[in-house]
């Protein structure tokens, strides 16, 4: 039995003509090789085409009573469910203008009446073969795209896990920080999403950039791995000299990420934000921070978000040199830092989302020692 190349399934054809003798002839010519269904009007054809099995090809008379073939073709091509079905017009009209109109509507071919059986069979087989190859390539492309999506998702999961492991390694050297990296990551996300509608920030806070900033947030203190234990783990306040060494963790973090970036071909968008956050999250809006004493908008936005997230979490967390402040007290202190320590608009975003910060802190609270 004749089937289209590459498949053992008998193809289904829909023949549409308001002349019974034409339908009988088409059925007689094609039924040995194909399953042929018939419709005697355009409206009936539009009903049948949506019934299982959906036809693989449609033979469509142009001149019919009521809805003509051109209108049937137009509706078929306008519907995503039927747009890909090849349409071959059957017509006694062979003017170039008529053929052009049909092709513009999406027809695949014309077969002139009176119908030559051999020509009809050849045209049907040719267009079914073309459709089979198109479907095959489309399925292959879909499969490849699905594999790429799955692989990309897997790579991102591995990347996220690696980032978290690296950040956790730094944090485990400071045994008081607990879930600090997870909480600050959530805080950055809340601030960024609130500010994305602000005209001052919307150009920079696209969905993809927010995703990268949030992913980068856990690396803000990666440079702590380079701080000597006697300073990092000191059970009390640091001396001025010790604090000067502690402050170098921002530069150490930048350098570590730059070394990782050097192994790549060109700058990576994710590492851009990781560098900004690691290097500049201790800068202050008034220029009194470190390591460079940047002020205002000279401080990268990602670092300004991280600065507030980091300070809030430090305030509500217990340290050997201080108790944990209440959420209300932390809000008061951050409010006092508006336009001094923090970007005023970032500070306002925090105040607007203070309850959300409290909820994150409660959900990810550290277990008592």
Res 1: pLDDT: 39
Question: What is the Cα–Cα distance from 294 to 51, expressed in whole angstroms?
Answer: 68
Averaged pLDDT of the chain: 88
Q: Residue 2 has what pLDDT?
A: 42
> Taking a C-beta distance cutoff of 8 angstroms, is the pair 259, 226 a contact?
no
Asked whether the predicted pLDDT for residue 52 surpasses 70, the reply is yes
Percentage of the chain surpassing pLDDT 70? 88
pTM of the complete model: 0.60
pLDDT (average), residues 40-57? 93
pLDDT of residue 246: 94
pLDDT at 368: 62
- The predicted pLDDT at position 264 comes to 67
Residue 243 CB neighbours (<10 A)? 12
- Would you state the pLDDT for residue 3? 43
**Model confidence at 164: pLDDT above 90:** no
Q: How far apart are CA 332 and CA 316, in angstroms?
A: 12
With b for 16 or more beta-carbon neighbours within 10 A and e for fewer, the 278-306 pattern comes to: bbbbbbbbeeebbeeebeeeebbbbbbbb
Q: Which two tokens stand for residue 307?
A: 């600065």
* pLDDT value at 217 more than 80: yes
- Whether the per-residue pLDDT at 4 is higher than 60: the answer is no
Domains of the chain (ranges, CATH numbers): 12-143 (3.40.50.2300), 173-363 (1.10.3210.10)
Would you state the structure tokens that stand for residue 275, as one six-digit string?
Answer: 């560098």
pLDDT digits (tens, 9 = 90+) for 22-42: 999 999 999 989 999 999 999
Contact status, residue 76 vs residue 85, Cβ threshold 8 Å? yes
CA distance 5 to 135: 12
pLDDT tens digits, one per residue of 65-110: 999 999 999 999 999 999 999 999 998 877 788 888 999 999 999 9
Helix orientation angle between 117-172 and 180-195, rounded to the nearest 10 degrees: 130
Counting residues of the chain whose pLDDT is more than 90, the rounded percentage is 64
The predicted-structure confidence for 166-211, as pLDDT tens digits, reads as follows 666 666 555 555 588 889 999 999 999 999 999 999 999 999 999 9
End-to-end alpha-carbon separation of the chain, Å?
A: 78
């Amino acid at each position: 039995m004749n089937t289209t190349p590459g498949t053992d399934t008998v193809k289904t054809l829909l023949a549409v003509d308001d002349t019974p003798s034409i339908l009988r002839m088409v059925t007689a010519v094609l039924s040995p090789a194909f399953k042929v269904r018939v419709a005697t009007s355009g409206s009936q054809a539009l009903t049948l085409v949506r019934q299982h099995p959906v036809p693989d090809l449609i033979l469509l008379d142009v001149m019919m009573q009521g809805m003509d073939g051109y209108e049937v073709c137009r509706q078929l091509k306008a519907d995503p469910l039927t747009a890909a079905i090849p349409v071959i017009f059957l017509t006694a009209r062979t003017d170039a203008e008529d053929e052009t109109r049909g092709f513009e509507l999406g027809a695949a071919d014309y077969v002139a009446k009176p119908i030559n059986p051999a020509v009809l069979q050849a045209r049907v087989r040719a267009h079914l073969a073309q459709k089979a190859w198109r479907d095959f390539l489309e399925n292959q492309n879909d499969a490849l795209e699905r594999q790429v999506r799955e692989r990309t998702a897997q790579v991102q999961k591995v990347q996220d896990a690696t980032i978290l492991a690296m950040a956790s390694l730094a944090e485990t050297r400071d045994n008081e920080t607990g879930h600090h990296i997870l909480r600050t990551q959530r805080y950055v996300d809340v601030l960024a999403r609130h500010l994305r509608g602000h005209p001052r920030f919307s150009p920079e806070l696209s969905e993809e950039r927010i995703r990268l900033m949030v992913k980068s947030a856990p690396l803000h203190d990666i440079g702590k791995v380079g701080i000597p234990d006697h300073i990092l783990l000191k059970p009390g306040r640091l001396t001025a000299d010790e604090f000067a060494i502690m402050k170098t963790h921002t530069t150490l973090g930048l350098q570590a990420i730059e070394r990782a970036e050097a192994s790549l071909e060109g700058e990576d968008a994710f590492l851009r934000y990781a560098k900004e956050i690691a290097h500049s999250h201790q800068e202050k809006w008034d220029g009194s921070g470190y390591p460079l004493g940047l002020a205002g908008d000279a401080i990268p936005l990602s670092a300004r978000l991280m600065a507030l997230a980091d300070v809030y979490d430090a305030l509500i967390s217990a340290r050997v040199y201080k108790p944990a402040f209440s959420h209300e007290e932390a809000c008061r202190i951050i409010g006092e830092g508006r336009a001094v320590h923090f970007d005023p608009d970032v500070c306002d975003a925090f105040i607007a989302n203070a309850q959300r910060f409290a909820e994150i802190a409660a959900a990810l609270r550290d277990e008592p020692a």
